[in-house]
Chains A and B, each alone.
Chain A
Amino acid sequence: MLTFRSLRTKLAVIYAGLFSLVLLSVGAAALFTVQNSATGMVRGEMSATAAVFNRIWDMHAEQMGDAADILSRDFGFRAAVATRDDPTIDSALENLRQRFGFDLAFVMTENGSIVGVEPSGLEMRDGALFEILSSRDSAGGVLLIAGAPHHAVARPVRAPTRVGWVVFAYRLSETGLSDLTELSSIPLDARLYWRESDGDWTAQQPDAPGLTHYTGGETDIANFDRGVRFTPDRTALASVLPIDAFTEGLPVALVLEYPVALAMAPFRGMFVSIAAAGLAGLLILIVGTWVLARGLTNPIQALERAARRLADGEAMRVDLAGRDEIARLASSFNTMGETIAAREQRITHLALHDADTGIPNLQALEQAVDAALASDDWASTHAASVGIDRFHQIRGAIGYALCAHMFVDLERRIVAAVPGAKVGRVATDALGVVFAAADADAAAASAAAISDAANQPLTLGDDQVDIHATIGYAKAEDASLSGLTVIECASVAVDQARTVDHKTAAFDREAYGDPTRMLSLMSRMINGLGSGDLFLAYQPKFDFRSQSIRSAEALLRWQDPERGFIGPDEFIPLAEETGHILPLTEWVLDRAIADQVRMRAAGHEIQVAINISGRLVSDNRFIRHALDRLSRHTGRICFEITETAVINNPEAALENIHALRDAGISVSIDDYGAGLSSLSYLRSIPAEELKIDKAFVLELGTVQSDRLLVKSTIDLAHSLGMKVTAEGVEDAESIAILASMGADYAQGYHIGRPMPLAGFLDYMQERGSESDTDCDDARAAG
C-alpha cells in the first residue's frame, strides 16, 4: 500500500487517479461506440459499393454483349465472316471498338484463326482462347490476355451455322478498378485476384497480400463469405466479391478493402477533443484538489504543529475561521491547551508552594538558588535558615492554623527586613531565605536583620506569641565544598548554632566534617579487620586481693597504613551510626576468644573484658551470636557496658543482660560517673563489677572531693554486691589510696598500658604472676 507523508498529495493522487479512471472508461466507451458505428457505416458503404460494382460490371457485360450480339447478327458482317472478307471484318470491328471504347475487338473463326487488328498489338494465345470457346457459343467475364486481366465477352457469329465468335474486351487496369470504386462515397481499395490453372490465386498487384488474407484461409470461391469482415490484423475491413470468369473453372474475385484507421479518421478530432478536455479536466482537478487540500491540510498542519509545541510545554492557540469539524477541533484543541496550561500552572504552584501556608517551598527556593548560582555573581549567593525553637511545643499550644499564620507573618517580616530576599518554607519548623551578600560582613548583617525580624513577638489572633528563632546561614562556596546545597548548609548551621547556644551562626564546614570521608573510613575499617590493621590491645587489671594480674580489658586499636593511628572515638561512634558496630563487635569477640586461648597456652589464665556498645545490648541478634559463640568456649569473658545501654530500651536490655549472666558471662558497668549515672538503673542492672571513670581517679591524690566520691561509690557498689575497678590509675599513691578505700581492682598506666597480645604476654612473663586465683566469685568454669 502506498503511504503518503502529506494528506494533500494523497488527496490529489487519489482524486486524479479516480478521475483518470472515469476518463479512461468514458474514452473507452466512446472509442467502442464510435468504432462500432464507423465499422457499421463502412460495412454498409462496402455492401453498397459491392452492389454498385456488380451493377456496373453487369452493365459493362451487357453493353459489350449487346454490341457483340448486334454485330454478330448483322447480315453484312455475317456475310463478311462467312466469306472471310477480312478487310470488312476489320473495319466493322474497329468501328465498334472506337464507338464503345473497347480495348480489344476481334473475331475468332470456327477454325481458330483470328481476324481483327489488335490495337495494342498484344499477342494472343489464340489456341487457348479457341479451346475456351470451341465448346460453347457465348462467354463473358474476366479473361487473361497476355497475362493482363480483361473483361471480355464472346458472341457467336452464325451464317446460319456458327462460323466464328465476336470478342470484345477492355482491360481491367488498376486505375480502371479504382475508377470503379470512386463511385463509392468512401475511398475503397479494389484488388483483383484470379485463380491460375495450377490452383493458386494471383493478385493483380504483385505487392498485394494473398487472397487468403481476406477470406480467412478459404481458397474455394464457392465457400467465400460474401459479407464484410475484418482482416486478421483488424487494421482493415474487406469484402470479397466473386466475379464472372471467362474461363470456366478459373474463378476471379474482387477484393474491396477499407482501412479501419481511415474509417476512424473523421472521429480523430472528437478523440483529440475528448483527450484535451480530459487533460484539462485532470489539470483543473489536480490544481483544485491541491488548493482544496491545502485549505484542509493547512489547519491540520497548524494543529499538528501546535500539538507538538504543546507537548514541548509551550502555550499554543490555533485560531481557525469557520464552523466545520476542523474549526471545532481547533476550538477543542484550544480549550484543551488552556486546561492543560491551567492545570500545569496549578501543579507548578503546588510543586513550588507550601500547602499549609501558601508561601514558596523548598523546591521554589532551590530554583531561586539555581538561578542565582547561574548568574555571574554566583559567589554572592547566600542562604539562611530560620529555625523556630521549640516549634512542636508552639504548634501544640496554638494549633496548626495559627502556626501557618505565624509562618506567613514571619515571611512578610523577613522579606521586609532583607530587600530582594526570597523566602520559603524549607522544613516543618524552618523558613529558608535566599539572599545576596557581597562579603561575610554583609552576610552577617543580613543574618542579624533576619534574626531581629524573626525574634519579635507575633500577634496571632487575639494572642501575642513569643517566638524564638535560631538563624543559620551559608554562602555558595560552602555548598560546593561540603557537597550539600546551600540551603542544607544553612540548616546544618542552625543545628550548629543551637549546639553552641547562639542565636545566629554561619555554617562551620570544619565542624560539619566530611561525610564522604566517614563512609570511606568504614570501608577501610572492614578491610582493616582482615588485613590486621585493626587489632586488640590488652590493658592489665591489678587485683588488690591477690596482688596479681588476673584480668585485662581488650581495647580496639587501628593502625592504618595511610592515615596512621585512628582513635576509637573517631570510628566507634561512626560504626554505631552506620551499623558496622555489629560485625566489628563480633570480630572483637572472636579475636578476644582466640587471644585468650593463646594466653592460656602461655600459662596465663586471664579474664578478658570487651566493650559492648549500648545498641548491641538490646540487639537480640548479637546476643544470640555471642551466647552461641561463648557456649563453645571455656575462657572467662566479661562484657563491659555503659548505663546508657539500658536507658533507651530497658526491658530488652535487662532481659539480655540476665541471659548473659545465666550463661556465665560477667557483666561490668563501664565509665561509671562520666555520663548520666542513675541510681535506679544501677540497682536494676545485674552487673558484677562497676568501673569508676578515670576522671575521678586521675587526680585522686590531690583532689579531696574525688576521694569522697570514689570512696562513697566503692561503698555503694559493694553494698549492691558489685566489685569495683578504678580506671586511670597512674601513680603509686593512687594505688595506696584505692587499696585503703577497699577497691577491688585497679587499671591504668601505673599498672600497665594497653599492649598487643605479644607485649601483654611478655609483660605477664615479667611479672611472673600466679594463675590459680579467681578474679571473682561468680566464675563458673576454671
Chain B
Amino acid sequence: MISIRRLLRFALLALGLAACPGLAGAAELRVSVTNSAGEPVPNAVVSLPGELTADFIPAEPLEMAQVDVQFDPFVLVVPRGAEVLFPNRDRVRHHVYSFARGNQFELELYGREQERSVAFSAAGAVPLGCNIHDQMIAFIRVVDTPFAVRTDGDGVAVLTGVPTGMTTLTVWHPYGNAENNLVTLDFDPAVDPAPQVTLDILGQH
C-alpha cells in the first residue's frame, strides 16, 4: 500500500502541473481507475497526449527517496529530460540501478550525505531496484506529455488544463496486464467528463 505521505506529495505535484501557464480555458479531467474487481487502483499513471515543452520541466528536481529501505514514491511521473534526485534517507547505503532501455543508470553505493541525481532522456517505464536490497522496487514513468497524473489512493487522477478535443486516454500501471502495461481509452470529454478505466492488475504487489 502506498503511504499517506506519498499520496500527499503526489497531489502536490499534480497541483503544480495544473498551475502551469498557457493552458487557460482548458478543462479539468477526472479519471477513475479500477481493477476488474471494481476496486480503486492507485499508482496508475493516466496521461493524455500533448507537447512537452521546457516550460513543463520543473525547476526543482523531482525526488525518488529511499526511506526505510523502500523507494518513495512507488511510482514517479517524470517528464522526459527532467532530473530526478535519489536522496538516501536511510542509515544504510543503497545501490540503485535500472536496466531500462535508454534510461539505464547505476548509482553505486552511496550514503545519506551523498546526493545523486539522474536525468531520464527516454520516455517509458523505468523499473528501479537496489542491488543490496532486493525488496526495494519502484517505477519511474518518463512521459513525453505535460498531461500525466498518477492516481491517488482512491484510484482517481485529476488532469487540469486539458485542452479540448482530447479523445485518447492512456493508463499505465507497473503491473498492468497488457502490452507494455498500457491501456488506451477513447473518450468524449463533453459527454463524459469523468471517464472510468478498468485495468487488469497482476497480483504481484
Contact = CB atoms under 8 A, between A and B. Distances in A.
Nearest to B174: A161
Contacts of B128: 160
Given A79-B99, A83-B99, A161 B127 contact: yes
Interface in A356-383: none
A159 B134 contact: no
16 contacts: A75-B131, A78-B99, A79-B97, A79-B99, A82-B99, A83-B101, A158-B129, A158-B134, A159-B99, A159-B127, A159-B129, A160-B127, A160-B129, A160-B134, A161-B127, A163-B99
Which 8 pairs, one residue from A and one from B, show the smallest C-beta to C-beta distance? A160-B129, A82-B99, A160-B137, A161-B127, A75-B131, A159-B99, A83-B99, A79-B99
Interface string A574-610: 0000000000000000000000000000000000000
Interface in B69-121: 97, 99, 101, 104
A75 B137 CA distance: 15
A160 B136 CA distance: 8
Contacts of B131: 75
Contacts of A509: none
Contacts of A163: 99
A332 to B, nearest CB: 114
B130 interface: yes
Nearest to B131: A75
Interface string B122-154: 000001111100101100000000000000000
Given A79-B97, A83-B99, 7 more contacts: A75-B131, A82-B99, A83-B104, A158-B129, A159-B99, A160-B127, A161-B127
Nearest to A79: B99
A349 interface: no
Nearest to B130: A160
Contacts of B99: 78-79, 82-83, 159, 163
Interface string A153-171: 0000011110100000000
Contacts of B129: 158-160
A658 interface: no
Contacts of A229: none
A83 B136 CA distance: 20
Contacts of A78: 99
Contacts of B174: 161
Interface string A60-94: 00000000000001010011001100000000000
Nearest to A83: B99
Nearest to B128: A160
A75 B97 CA distance: 10
Interface in A654-673: none
A161 B137 contact: yes
Interface range for B: 10 to 19
A75 B136 CA distance: 14
Interface of B: 97, 99, 101, 104, 127-131, 134, 136-137, 174
A73 B134 CA distance: 9
A75 B108 CA distance: 12
B129 to A, nearest CB: 3
B72 to A, nearest CB: 15
A159 B96 CA distance: 11
B178 to A, nearest CB: 14
A83 B130 CA distance: 17
Interface in A120-145: none
Nearest to A80: B99
B64 to A, nearest CB: 13
Contacts of A83: 99, 101, 104
Contacts of A159: 99, 127, 129
Contacts of A161: 127, 137, 174
Nearest to B129: A160
Interface in A156-207: 158-161, 163
Contacts of A160: 127-130, 134, 136-137
A88 to B, nearest CB: 13
B92 to A, nearest CB: 17
A134 to B, nearest CB: 11
A163 B98 CA distance: 12
A481 to B, nearest CB: 152
A83 B97 CA distance: 13
Contacts of A75: 97, 131
A158 B104 CA distance: 15
A159 B125 CA distance: 13
A671 to B, nearest CB: 174
Nearest to B100: A82
Nearest to B127: A161
Contacts of B130: 160
A123 B128 CA distance: 35
A78 B127 CA distance: 13
Nearest to B175: A161
A79 B174 CA distance: 20
A73 B99 CA distance: 14
Contacts of A82: 99
Contacts of B134: 73, 158, 160
B50 to A, nearest CB: 28
Nearest to B125: A161
A83 B102 CA distance: 11
A160 B95 CA distance: 12
Contacts of A158: 129, 134
A158 B205 CA distance: 14
A158 B97 CA distance: 12
A78 B128 CA distance: 13
Nearest to A78: B99
A730 to B, nearest CB: 185
A82 B99 CA distance: 6
Nearest to B133: A160
Interface string A699-731: 000000000000000000000000000000000
B105 to A, nearest CB: 12
A544 B27 CA distance: 220
A77 to B, nearest CB: 12
Nearest to B132: A75
Nearest to A137: B204
Contacts of B104: 83
A494 to B, nearest CB: 159
Interface in A82-110: 82-83
Nearest to A160: B129
- Residue picked from A79, A160, A161, A163, most chain B C-beta under 10 Å: A160
A73 B174 CA distance: 21
Nearest to A75: B131
A740 B137 CA distance: 208
Contacts of B97: 75, 79
Nearest to B71: A160
Nearest to B137: A160
Contacts of B136: 160
Nearest to B138: A160
A135 to B, nearest CB: 10
A160 B174 CA distance: 12
A157 to B, nearest CB: 11
A83 B104 CA distance: 10
Nearest to B95: A75
Nearest to A159: B99
Contacts of A79: 97, 99
Interface string A603-623: 000000000000000000000
B134 to A, nearest CB: 7
A711 to B, nearest CB: 192
A102 to B, nearest CB: 24
A161 B137 CA distance: 8
A160 B128 CA distance: 7
Contacts of A73: 134
A122 to B, nearest CB: 31
A83 B100 CA distance: 8
A163 B137 CA distance: 14
A78 B131 CA distance: 10
A294 to B, nearest CB: 99
A636 B131 CA distance: 186
A115 to B, nearest CB: 15
